[in-house]
Amino acid sequence: MSANQILTVAQMQAAEQALIDAGTSVDALMQTAGKGAAQWVLRVAGGRPVTVLCGPGNNGGDGYVIAEVLRKRGLEVCVVAPIAPKTDAAKNARREYKGISLSSGKDAKGQVLVDCLFGSGLARPLSGEHILLLRDLAARHPIRIAVDLPSGVESDSGALLNERLPDYRLTIALGAWKFAHYRLPARTRMGDLKLVPIGVDAIDGAAQLIGKPRLRAPAFDAHKYTRGLCAVVGGAMPGASLLASQSAMRAGAGYVKLLAHHAPAHVPAGLVTSEQPLDEAIADKRIASILVGPGLGRERESEDRLHGVLAAGKPTVLDADALMLLKPDMLQEGTAYLATPHDGELEALSRAFAVVAPDRQQRALALAKASGMVVLAKGPDTMIAAPDGRLAIAPPAPSWLSVAGTGDVLAGIAASRMATGRDPFEAACEAVWLHGEAARQCGAAFTADDLALAVSGAIAAAE
Protein backbone atom coordinates (compact mmCIF):
# COMPACT_ATOMS: atom_id res chain seq x y z
CA MET A 1 0.00 0.00 0.00
CA SER A 2 1.38 3.42 -0.96
CA ALA A 3 0.03 6.52 0.76
CA ASN A 4 1.73 8.73 -1.82
CA GLN A 5 0.31 7.31 -5.03
CA ILE A 6 -1.98 9.43 -7.19
CA LEU A 7 -4.50 7.45 -9.22
CA THR A 8 -6.62 8.08 -12.26
CA VAL A 9 -10.31 7.17 -12.13
CA ALA A 10 -9.56 4.01 -14.10
CA GLN A 11 -6.71 3.02 -11.79
CA MET A 12 -8.85 3.62 -8.71
CA GLN A 13 -11.69 1.54 -10.10
CA ALA A 14 -9.28 -1.28 -10.93
CA ALA A 15 -7.75 -1.10 -7.44
CA GLU A 16 -11.17 -1.32 -5.81
CA GLN A 17 -12.11 -4.23 -8.07
CA ALA A 18 -8.93 -6.02 -7.01
CA LEU A 19 -10.00 -5.69 -3.38
CA ILE A 20 -13.45 -7.04 -4.24
CA ASP A 21 -11.95 -9.94 -6.21
CA ALA A 22 -9.82 -10.75 -3.15
CA GLY A 23 -12.94 -11.09 -1.02
CA THR A 24 -13.79 -7.63 0.29
CA SER A 25 -17.38 -6.58 -0.38
CA VAL A 26 -18.41 -3.20 -1.76
CA ASP A 27 -20.40 -2.67 1.44
CA ALA A 28 -17.31 -3.31 3.56
CA LEU A 29 -15.26 -0.86 1.49
CA MET A 30 -18.02 1.75 1.88
CA GLN A 31 -18.08 1.26 5.64
CA THR A 32 -14.30 1.62 5.85
CA ALA A 33 -14.28 4.78 3.72
CA GLY A 34 -17.32 6.36 5.35
CA LYS A 35 -16.28 5.65 8.92
CA GLY A 36 -12.76 6.94 8.23
CA ALA A 37 -14.11 10.13 6.69
CA ALA A 38 -16.55 10.57 9.58
CA GLN A 39 -13.65 10.86 12.02
CA TRP A 40 -12.36 13.93 10.15
CA VAL A 41 -15.87 15.39 9.93
CA LEU A 42 -16.27 14.98 13.69
CA ARG A 43 -13.05 16.88 14.31
CA VAL A 44 -14.01 19.77 12.08
CA ALA A 45 -17.66 19.91 13.14
CA GLY A 46 -16.82 20.22 16.81
CA GLY A 47 -20.39 19.38 17.81
CA ARG A 48 -22.07 21.72 15.32
CA PRO A 49 -25.12 20.48 13.36
CA VAL A 50 -24.21 18.79 10.08
CA THR A 51 -25.95 18.50 6.71
CA VAL A 52 -24.80 15.62 4.50
CA LEU A 53 -25.58 16.01 0.79
CA CYS A 54 -25.88 12.53 -0.74
CA GLY A 55 -25.95 11.60 -4.41
CA PRO A 56 -27.25 8.39 -6.01
CA GLY A 57 -23.95 6.54 -6.32
CA ASN A 58 -21.39 5.09 -3.96
CA ASN A 59 -20.14 8.55 -3.01
CA GLY A 60 -23.65 9.17 -1.71
CA GLY A 61 -23.45 5.82 0.06
CA ASP A 62 -20.32 7.05 1.86
CA GLY A 63 -22.38 10.04 2.93
CA TYR A 64 -25.05 7.84 4.55
CA VAL A 65 -22.33 5.99 6.48
CA ILE A 66 -20.86 9.31 7.63
CA ALA A 67 -24.28 10.58 8.69
CA GLU A 68 -25.02 7.48 10.76
CA VAL A 69 -21.64 7.71 12.53
CA LEU A 70 -22.32 11.36 13.37
CA ARG A 71 -25.85 10.56 14.58
CA LYS A 72 -24.59 7.82 16.87
CA ARG A 73 -22.03 10.25 18.28
CA GLY A 74 -24.84 12.60 19.28
CA LEU A 75 -24.53 15.26 16.58
CA GLU A 76 -27.56 16.86 15.03
CA VAL A 77 -27.41 15.53 11.47
CA CYS A 78 -29.63 15.71 8.43
CA VAL A 79 -29.22 14.04 5.04
CA VAL A 80 -30.29 15.87 1.88
CA ALA A 81 -30.78 13.37 -0.95
CA PRO A 82 -32.22 14.86 -4.16
CA ILE A 83 -32.01 11.42 -5.84
CA ALA A 84 -32.59 8.01 -4.26
CA PRO A 85 -29.62 5.61 -4.08
CA LYS A 86 -29.07 3.58 -7.24
CA THR A 87 -26.27 1.17 -6.31
CA ASP A 88 -26.83 -1.81 -4.03
CA ALA A 89 -24.18 -0.65 -1.55
CA ALA A 90 -25.63 2.86 -1.38
CA LYS A 91 -29.14 1.41 -0.85
CA ASN A 92 -27.82 -0.71 2.00
CA ALA A 93 -26.07 2.28 3.58
CA ARG A 94 -29.28 4.29 3.27
CA ARG A 95 -31.21 1.57 5.14
CA GLU A 96 -28.61 1.60 7.93
CA TYR A 97 -28.99 5.35 8.42
CA LYS A 98 -31.64 6.03 11.08
CA GLY A 99 -31.73 9.82 11.05
CA ILE A 100 -33.58 12.61 9.26
CA SER A 101 -33.53 12.57 5.45
CA LEU A 102 -34.88 15.29 3.12
CA SER A 103 -35.26 15.36 -0.64
CA SER A 104 -34.89 19.16 -0.70
CA GLY A 105 -32.30 21.33 0.94
CA LYS A 106 -34.58 24.23 1.81
CA ASP A 107 -35.14 23.06 5.39
CA ALA A 108 -31.52 22.07 6.08
CA LYS A 109 -30.20 24.20 8.93
CA GLY A 110 -26.75 22.77 9.66
CA GLN A 111 -23.55 24.75 10.10
CA VAL A 112 -21.36 22.11 8.45
CA LEU A 113 -22.01 20.83 4.92
CA VAL A 114 -20.56 17.47 3.89
CA ASP A 115 -20.61 17.17 0.09
CA CYS A 116 -21.15 13.55 -1.03
CA LEU A 117 -23.20 14.40 -4.10
CA PHE A 118 -20.81 13.10 -6.77
CA GLY A 119 -17.29 11.72 -6.40
CA SER A 120 -14.30 11.03 -8.59
CA GLY A 121 -16.18 9.42 -11.49
CA LEU A 122 -17.91 12.64 -12.58
CA ALA A 123 -17.13 13.56 -16.19
CA ARG A 124 -19.89 16.04 -17.08
CA PRO A 125 -21.23 19.22 -15.48
CA LEU A 126 -23.75 19.01 -12.68
CA SER A 127 -27.34 19.48 -13.82
CA GLY A 128 -28.98 22.85 -13.27
CA GLU A 129 -30.99 21.45 -10.37
CA HIS A 130 -27.95 19.97 -8.65
CA ILE A 131 -25.63 22.95 -9.05
CA LEU A 132 -28.30 25.29 -7.68
CA LEU A 133 -28.83 22.95 -4.71
CA LEU A 134 -25.09 22.74 -4.05
CA ARG A 135 -24.60 26.51 -4.27
CA ASP A 136 -27.57 27.16 -1.99
CA LEU A 137 -26.42 24.72 0.69
CA ALA A 138 -22.82 25.97 0.47
CA ALA A 139 -23.97 29.57 0.92
CA ARG A 140 -25.92 28.64 4.07
CA HIS A 141 -23.24 26.42 5.66
CA PRO A 142 -20.11 28.36 6.71
CA ILE A 143 -18.02 25.18 7.07
CA ARG A 144 -17.82 22.92 4.03
CA ILE A 145 -16.20 19.49 3.68
CA ALA A 146 -15.90 17.50 0.44
CA VAL A 147 -15.71 13.71 0.50
CA ASP A 148 -13.33 12.22 -2.10
CA LEU A 149 -13.67 15.28 -4.36
CA PRO A 150 -15.84 18.39 -4.45
CA SER A 151 -18.86 17.82 -6.67
CA GLY A 152 -18.38 19.39 -10.10
CA VAL A 153 -14.65 18.59 -10.35
CA GLU A 154 -13.16 16.28 -12.98
CA SER A 155 -10.82 13.90 -11.19
CA ASP A 156 -8.10 13.22 -13.75
CA SER A 157 -7.60 16.76 -15.05
CA GLY A 158 -8.58 18.96 -12.12
CA ALA A 159 -11.00 20.85 -14.37
CA LEU A 160 -14.00 22.64 -12.89
CA LEU A 161 -17.05 21.32 -14.74
CA ASN A 162 -19.38 24.07 -13.51
CA GLU A 163 -18.98 27.75 -12.83
CA ARG A 164 -19.16 29.20 -9.32
CA LEU A 165 -18.40 25.97 -7.52
CA PRO A 166 -18.04 26.43 -3.75
CA ASP A 167 -14.76 26.13 -1.94
CA TYR A 168 -14.13 23.84 1.01
CA ARG A 169 -12.30 23.93 4.31
CA LEU A 170 -11.38 20.25 3.99
CA THR A 171 -11.35 17.58 1.29
CA ILE A 172 -11.15 13.95 2.41
CA ALA A 173 -9.65 11.67 -0.25
CA LEU A 174 -10.86 8.07 -0.14
CA GLY A 175 -8.46 5.20 -0.86
CA ALA A 176 -5.86 7.20 -2.77
CA TRP A 177 -5.06 10.69 -3.92
CA LYS A 178 -6.58 11.79 -7.23
CA PHE A 179 -4.96 14.19 -9.68
CA ALA A 180 -7.53 16.89 -8.97
CA HIS A 181 -6.32 17.06 -5.37
CA TYR A 182 -3.08 18.62 -6.60
CA ARG A 183 -3.78 20.04 -10.05
CA LEU A 184 -5.10 23.47 -10.86
CA PRO A 185 -7.72 24.83 -10.96
CA ALA A 186 -9.46 22.27 -8.72
CA ARG A 187 -6.82 22.49 -6.01
CA THR A 188 -7.86 26.05 -5.23
CA ARG A 189 -11.24 24.72 -4.01
CA MET A 190 -9.96 21.89 -1.80
CA GLY A 191 -8.80 23.48 1.44
CA ASP A 192 -6.86 21.08 3.66
CA LEU A 193 -6.37 17.56 2.32
CA LYS A 194 -6.66 14.33 4.29
CA LEU A 195 -6.44 10.73 3.09
CA VAL A 196 -8.54 7.81 4.37
CA PRO A 197 -6.91 4.47 3.44
CA ILE A 198 -9.16 1.57 2.43
CA GLY A 199 -6.47 -1.04 1.74
CA VAL A 200 -5.64 -0.20 -1.88
CA ASP A 201 -2.37 -1.81 -2.99
CA ALA A 202 0.47 0.04 -4.69
CA ILE A 203 -0.26 0.35 -8.42
CA ASP A 204 2.55 -0.16 -10.93
CA GLY A 205 3.12 3.00 -12.94
CA ALA A 206 0.99 5.21 -10.71
CA ALA A 207 1.97 8.84 -10.32
CA GLN A 208 3.46 9.77 -6.97
CA LEU A 209 3.03 12.67 -4.60
CA ILE A 210 6.41 14.19 -3.80
CA GLY A 211 7.17 13.51 -0.17
CA LYS A 212 9.85 14.44 2.32
CA PRO A 213 13.20 13.02 1.16
CA ARG A 214 15.38 10.94 3.45
CA LEU A 215 18.72 12.70 3.52
CA ARG A 216 21.77 11.74 5.53
CA ALA A 217 24.80 13.65 6.71
CA PRO A 218 27.96 13.05 4.62
CA ALA A 219 30.04 9.99 5.43
CA PHE A 220 32.63 10.33 8.18
CA ASP A 221 35.48 10.25 5.65
CA ALA A 222 33.79 12.53 3.06
CA HIS A 223 35.59 15.41 1.40
CA LYS A 224 34.52 18.10 -1.04
CA TYR A 225 35.04 16.00 -4.16
CA THR A 226 33.35 12.83 -2.87
CA ARG A 227 30.35 14.98 -2.00
CA GLY A 228 30.27 16.28 -5.58
CA LEU A 229 31.55 19.23 -7.59
CA CYS A 230 28.71 21.30 -9.04
CA ALA A 231 29.59 23.77 -11.79
CA VAL A 232 27.29 26.73 -12.43
CA VAL A 233 27.76 28.37 -15.82
CA GLY A 234 27.48 32.14 -15.67
CA GLY A 235 26.40 34.41 -18.48
CA ALA A 236 25.58 37.97 -19.39
CA MET A 237 23.49 38.57 -16.24
CA PRO A 238 25.47 37.41 -13.20
CA GLY A 239 22.78 37.87 -10.56
CA ALA A 240 20.81 34.76 -11.52
CA SER A 241 23.85 32.48 -11.57
CA LEU A 242 24.94 33.86 -8.20
CA LEU A 243 21.53 33.03 -6.72
CA ALA A 244 21.72 29.52 -8.15
CA SER A 245 25.25 29.11 -6.82
CA GLN A 246 24.25 30.19 -3.32
CA SER A 247 21.43 27.66 -3.17
CA ALA A 248 23.66 24.93 -4.65
CA MET A 249 26.24 25.62 -1.92
CA ARG A 250 23.62 24.79 0.72
CA ALA A 251 21.91 21.82 -0.94
CA GLY A 252 24.49 19.08 -0.40
CA ALA A 253 27.26 19.42 -2.99
CA GLY A 254 30.73 19.56 -1.48
CA TYR A 255 32.09 22.09 -3.93
CA VAL A 256 30.33 24.69 -6.07
CA LYS A 257 32.25 26.55 -8.74
CA LEU A 258 30.85 29.48 -10.72
CA LEU A 259 32.20 29.41 -14.27
CA ALA A 260 31.78 33.13 -14.82
CA HIS A 261 31.53 34.82 -18.17
CA HIS A 262 32.57 38.03 -16.46
CA ALA A 263 33.62 38.16 -12.80
CA PRO A 264 30.72 39.41 -10.63
CA ALA A 265 31.45 42.42 -8.46
CA HIS A 266 30.42 40.74 -5.22
CA VAL A 267 30.84 37.02 -4.66
CA PRO A 268 30.27 35.09 -1.41
CA ALA A 269 33.58 34.18 0.19
CA GLY A 270 32.82 30.47 0.02
CA LEU A 271 32.04 30.45 -3.73
CA VAL A 272 34.93 29.61 -6.03
CA THR A 273 34.81 31.62 -9.26
CA SER A 274 36.69 30.78 -12.45
CA GLU A 275 37.05 32.93 -15.57
CA GLN A 276 39.08 30.44 -17.58
CA PRO A 277 37.72 29.54 -21.04
CA LEU A 278 34.54 27.54 -20.67
CA ASP A 279 35.75 24.54 -22.67
CA GLU A 280 38.76 24.23 -20.39
CA ALA A 281 36.71 24.72 -17.22
CA ILE A 282 34.12 22.06 -17.99
CA ALA A 283 36.81 19.56 -19.01
CA ASP A 284 37.54 19.08 -15.29
CA LYS A 285 36.83 15.38 -14.74
CA ARG A 286 35.86 16.04 -11.15
CA ILE A 287 32.69 17.91 -12.18
CA ALA A 288 29.69 15.81 -11.16
CA SER A 289 26.95 18.11 -12.48
CA ILE A 290 26.54 21.34 -14.43
CA LEU A 291 23.83 23.99 -14.24
CA VAL A 292 23.40 26.19 -17.29
CA GLY A 293 20.75 28.80 -18.04
CA PRO A 294 20.29 31.26 -15.16
CA GLY A 295 21.49 34.62 -16.46
CA LEU A 296 22.93 32.99 -19.59
CA GLY A 297 21.40 35.45 -22.06
CA ARG A 298 20.10 34.64 -25.53
CA GLU A 299 22.79 36.11 -27.76
CA ARG A 300 24.87 34.09 -30.22
CA GLU A 301 27.66 33.92 -27.66
CA SER A 302 25.20 32.50 -25.13
CA GLU A 303 24.18 29.81 -27.59
CA ASP A 304 27.83 28.95 -28.13
CA ARG A 305 28.31 28.57 -24.38
CA LEU A 306 25.32 26.26 -24.22
CA HIS A 307 26.70 24.18 -27.11
CA GLY A 308 29.98 23.84 -25.26
CA VAL A 309 28.32 22.74 -22.03
CA LEU A 310 26.13 20.12 -23.69
CA ALA A 311 28.99 18.79 -25.81
CA ALA A 312 30.80 17.86 -22.59
CA GLY A 313 28.25 15.09 -21.98
CA LYS A 314 28.07 15.62 -18.22
CA PRO A 315 24.93 15.42 -16.05
CA THR A 316 23.28 18.78 -16.66
CA VAL A 317 20.44 20.90 -15.36
CA LEU A 318 19.00 23.23 -17.99
CA ASP A 319 17.07 26.27 -16.82
CA ALA A 320 15.86 29.69 -17.98
CA ASP A 321 17.64 30.97 -21.12
CA ALA A 322 19.17 27.56 -21.86
CA LEU A 323 15.65 26.21 -22.39
CA MET A 324 14.83 28.93 -24.90
CA LEU A 325 18.06 28.28 -26.84
CA LEU A 326 17.93 24.48 -26.70
CA LYS A 327 17.57 22.49 -29.92
CA PRO A 328 17.14 18.72 -30.09
CA ASP A 329 20.47 18.10 -31.81
CA MET A 330 22.37 19.72 -28.93
CA LEU A 331 21.60 16.87 -26.52
CA GLN A 332 24.04 13.98 -26.20
CA GLU A 333 22.55 10.49 -26.19
CA GLY A 334 23.00 8.69 -22.89
CA THR A 335 23.61 11.87 -20.87
CA ALA A 336 21.52 12.67 -17.78
CA TYR A 337 19.54 15.89 -18.29
CA LEU A 338 17.06 17.73 -16.13
CA ALA A 339 15.04 20.61 -17.62
CA THR A 340 13.25 23.02 -15.27
CA PRO A 341 10.79 25.03 -17.41
CA HIS A 342 8.02 27.35 -16.31
CA ASP A 343 4.90 27.30 -18.49
CA GLY A 344 6.24 29.66 -21.16
CA GLU A 345 9.49 27.69 -21.45
CA LEU A 346 7.54 24.44 -21.51
CA GLU A 347 5.61 25.68 -24.53
CA ALA A 348 8.84 26.74 -26.25
CA LEU A 349 10.42 23.34 -25.62
CA SER A 350 7.31 21.60 -26.91
CA ARG A 351 7.60 23.51 -30.16
CA ALA A 352 11.32 22.75 -30.43
CA PHE A 353 10.75 19.01 -29.93
CA ALA A 354 7.51 18.89 -31.98
CA VAL A 355 5.41 17.83 -28.98
CA VAL A 356 1.64 18.24 -29.16
CA ALA A 357 -0.42 17.41 -26.07
CA PRO A 358 -3.84 18.46 -24.72
CA ASP A 359 -2.73 19.74 -21.33
CA ARG A 360 0.27 20.60 -19.19
CA GLN A 361 0.65 17.17 -17.61
CA GLN A 362 0.56 15.32 -20.92
CA ARG A 363 2.87 17.93 -22.45
CA ALA A 364 5.48 17.36 -19.76
CA LEU A 365 5.28 13.58 -20.18
CA ALA A 366 5.45 13.78 -23.97
CA LEU A 367 8.37 16.20 -23.85
CA ALA A 368 10.29 13.96 -21.47
CA LYS A 369 9.78 10.98 -23.78
CA ALA A 370 10.67 12.90 -26.94
CA SER A 371 13.77 14.59 -25.53
CA GLY A 372 15.12 12.02 -23.10
CA MET A 373 15.22 14.71 -20.39
CA VAL A 374 13.53 14.64 -17.04
CA VAL A 375 11.14 17.61 -17.14
CA LEU A 376 10.44 19.58 -13.96
CA ALA A 377 7.46 21.69 -15.02
CA LYS A 378 7.48 24.31 -12.26
CA GLY A 379 4.61 26.49 -11.16
CA PRO A 380 1.82 26.50 -8.57
CA ASP A 381 1.16 22.83 -9.42
CA THR A 382 4.69 21.60 -10.10
CA MET A 383 5.06 18.19 -11.73
CA ILE A 384 8.05 16.07 -12.74
CA ALA A 385 7.97 13.77 -15.76
CA ALA A 386 10.58 11.18 -16.72
CA PRO A 387 11.27 9.68 -20.18
CA ASP A 388 10.13 6.26 -18.92
CA GLY A 389 6.68 7.62 -18.03
CA ARG A 390 7.14 8.19 -14.31
CA LEU A 391 5.26 11.19 -12.97
CA ALA A 392 5.50 12.98 -9.63
CA ILE A 393 3.37 15.89 -8.48
CA ALA A 394 4.29 18.37 -5.75
CA PRO A 395 2.09 19.18 -2.77
CA PRO A 396 1.19 22.86 -2.39
CA ALA A 397 4.09 25.18 -1.57
CA PRO A 398 3.81 28.70 -0.12
CA SER A 399 2.47 31.17 -2.66
CA TRP A 400 5.16 33.63 -1.47
CA LEU A 401 7.42 31.77 -3.91
CA SER A 402 5.88 33.89 -6.67
CA VAL A 403 8.79 36.34 -6.71
CA ALA A 404 11.67 36.84 -9.15
CA GLY A 405 14.68 34.59 -8.69
CA THR A 406 13.08 31.65 -6.90
CA GLY A 407 13.38 29.54 -10.05
CA ASP A 408 17.14 30.14 -10.07
CA VAL A 409 17.24 28.91 -6.48
CA LEU A 410 15.32 25.75 -7.44
CA ALA A 411 17.71 25.06 -10.33
CA GLY A 412 20.70 25.43 -8.01
CA ILE A 413 19.23 22.98 -5.52
CA ALA A 414 18.55 20.44 -8.28
CA ALA A 415 22.07 20.72 -9.70
CA SER A 416 23.53 20.30 -6.23
CA ARG A 417 21.45 17.18 -5.59
CA MET A 418 22.64 15.74 -8.93
CA ALA A 419 26.22 16.46 -7.92
CA THR A 420 25.72 14.28 -4.83
CA GLY A 421 24.91 11.34 -7.13
CA ARG A 422 21.14 11.53 -7.50
CA ASP A 423 19.67 10.71 -10.89
CA PRO A 424 17.72 13.58 -12.51
CA PHE A 425 14.27 12.36 -11.43
CA GLU A 426 15.28 11.80 -7.82
CA ALA A 427 17.20 15.08 -7.76
CA ALA A 428 14.19 16.94 -9.11
CA CYS A 429 11.85 15.46 -6.48
CA GLU A 430 14.26 16.29 -3.67
CA ALA A 431 14.82 19.80 -5.02
CA VAL A 432 11.10 20.56 -5.21
CA TRP A 433 10.54 19.43 -1.62
CA LEU A 434 13.57 21.36 -0.31
CA HIS A 435 12.51 24.45 -2.26
CA GLY A 436 9.04 24.35 -0.69
CA GLU A 437 10.43 23.68 2.79
CA ALA A 438 12.88 26.57 2.49
CA ALA A 439 9.94 28.81 1.56
CA ARG A 440 7.98 27.61 4.59
CA GLN A 441 10.92 28.42 6.83
CA CYS A 442 11.25 31.89 5.30
CA GLY A 443 7.71 32.85 6.26
CA ALA A 444 6.07 35.76 4.43
CA ALA A 445 7.34 38.25 1.84
CA PHE A 446 10.85 36.87 1.38
CA THR A 447 13.32 37.49 -1.41
CA ALA A 448 15.14 34.95 -3.56
CA ASP A 449 18.29 35.72 -1.54
CA ASP A 450 16.42 34.83 1.65
CA LEU A 451 15.23 31.61 0.03
CA ALA A 452 18.74 30.58 -1.02
CA LEU A 453 20.00 31.11 2.53
CA ALA A 454 17.14 29.01 3.93
CA VAL A 455 18.10 25.89 1.93
CA SER A 456 20.43 24.72 4.73
CA GLY A 457 17.50 24.70 7.13
CA ALA A 458 15.44 22.70 4.62
CA ILE A 459 18.24 20.13 4.38
CA ALA A 460 18.27 19.87 8.17
CA ALA A 461 14.50 19.30 8.18
CA ALA A 462 14.97 16.34 5.81
CA GLU A 463 17.63 14.58 7.87
Question: Over the stretch 44-53, which tens digit does the pLDDT of each residue have?
Answer: 999 999 999 9
Q: Do residues 199 and 302 share a domain?
A: no
Q: How confident is the model at residue 1 (pLDDT cuts 50, 70, 90)?
A: low
**Pair 181, 238 in one domain:** no
Confidence of residue 262 (pLDDT cuts 50, 70, 90): confident
How confident is the model at residue 270, as a pLDDT? 86
CATH code of the domain in which 149 resides: 3.40.50.10260
Total tally of structural domains belonging to the chain: 2
Verify that 288 and 386 share a domain, yes or no.
Answer: yes
66 assigned to some structural domain: yes
What tens digit of pLDDT does each residue of 338-354 get?
A: 999 999 999 999 999 99
- Rounded percentage of the chain residues whose pLDDT exceeds 70: 100
214 located within any domain: no
Q: What is the pLDDT of residue 88?
A: 97
Residues 52, 190 within the same domain: yes
Judge whether residue 275 has pLDDT over 90: no
pLDDT band of 2, cuts 50, 70, 90 = confident
Both 420 and 273 in one domain: the answer is yes
User: Is a pLDDT exceeding 90 seen at residue 304?
Assistant: yes
Q: Report pLDDT for 243.
A: 95
* Residue 139 lies inside a defined structural domain of this protein: yes
Q: Is the pLDDT of residue 264 over 80?
A: no
Range of the domain at 361: 229-462
Report yes or no on 217 lying in a domain: no
Give the pLDDT band of residue 261 (cuts 50, 70, 90).
confident
198 and 240 belong to one structural domain: no
> End-to-end alpha-carbon separation of the chain, Å?
24
Residue 24: per-residue pLDDT? 96
Residue 358 falls within a domain, yes or no? yes
Range 150-157 average pLDDT: 97
341-390 pLDDT tens trace: 999 999 999 999 999 999 999 999 999 999 999 999 999 999 999 999 99
CATH number of the domain to which 338 belongs: 3.40.1190.20
Sign of CA dihedral 96, 101, 103, 105: negative
The 3-class SS string of the chain reads CCCCEEECHHHHHHHHHHHHHCCCCHHHHHHHHHHHHHHHHHHHHCCCCEEEEECCCHHHHHHHHHHHHHHHCCCCEEEECCCCCCCHHHHHHHHHCCCEEECCCCCCCCCEEEEECCCCCCCCCCCHHHHHHHHHHHHHCCEEEEECCCCCECCCCCCECCCCCCCCCEEEEECCEEHHHCCCCHHHHCCEEEEECCCCCCCCCCEEECCCCCCCCCCCCCCCCCCCEEEEECCCCHHHHHHHHHHHHCCCCCEEEEECCCCCCCCCCCCEEECCCHHHHCCCCCEEEEEECCCCCCCHHHHHHHHHHHHCCCCEEECCHHHHHCCHHHCCCCCCEEECCCHHHHHHHHHHCCCCCCCHHHHHHHHHHHHCCEEEECCCCCEEECCCCCEEECCCCCHHHCCCCHHHHHHHHHHHHHHCCCCHHHHHHHHHHHHHHHHHHHCCCCCHHHHHHCHHHHHHHHC
Residues 304 and 427 in one domain: yes
pLDDT at 171: 98
Percent of the chain exceeding pLDDT 90 equals 93
| pLDDT tens for each residue of 164-205 | 999 999 999 999 999 999 999 999 999 999 999 999 999 999
Q: Are residues 238 and 171 in the same domain?
A: no
Res. 260: pLDDT tops 70: yes
What is the rounded average pLDDT for all residues in the chain? 95
One domain, residues 253 and 168: no
pLDDT for the residue 266: 80
